[in-house]
Amino acid sequence: MKLLALGVAAAYTAFGLTFRGPRERFWDRMTITGAVLGAFAFAADRRARRTRIGPAEVGLGLASAAGLYGLFRLGDTTARQVMPRGGEEIGSIYALRALRPRGEVAARLALAIGPAEELFWRGFVQPRAGYIASTALYGGAHVVTENWTLVAAATVAGAYWGLLRALGLPLGALVVSHVAWDIWIFLIAPTEKAVV
């Protein structure tokens, strides 16, 4: 339990530093956060160290990413209607992609940020805290942004991936899912054309 508390405290601190620092250096801080959380998961959890990605994991990961993207396409319209500043907050998230070249952002998402989030939140936290608590913790880590649309989106995505993990989807497939979804929704087919 102490190790879980330490890991979550480290994640919340890292997210705070990432989202509260100068906007122009966001991707540097987010990549460092990914590296730290991924390294923590590898050091603390043998399941994370045993994560494998083969053809089956790639197929499952891509299929689950497509499912989540479909949910977000539907949810985008709802968020704009229900959230007081939904459209503005969604636009501010997409504006982050203009801070660095697209290829670089894709590489950061694929090699550090996406894999680390799955290894840490679904690989390390969820087996120790349980599905509901780990989902709440993942969403809660985004509260520091004060972007309530992002908090809601992170909570939905965390609940989706966490449920798949609870149902037995391999961690490697979730890594593929997170990376594919990040790149697709953020760089290739956003729910809204970014205003930059």
**What's the mean per-residue pLDDT of the chain?**
91
How is residue 4 written in tokens?
């879980």
pTM of the complete model: 0.91
- Burial, 156: exposed, middle or buried (Cβ in 10 Å; 0-12, 13-18, 19+)? middle
Task: List Cα–Cα distances, 90 to 107, 153, 159, 179, in angstroms.
Answer: 22, 10, 20, 19
Q: How far apart are the first and last CA of the chain?
A: 44
pLDDT for position 91: 80
pLDDT beyond 60 at 193: no
pLDDT for position 194: 40
How sure is the predictor about 196, in pLDDT bands with cuts at 50, 70 and 90?
very low
| pLDDT tens digits along 89-130 | 778 888 888 899 999 999 999 999 999 999 999 999 999 999
| pLDDT tens digits along 5-29 | 999 999 999 999 999 989 999 999 9
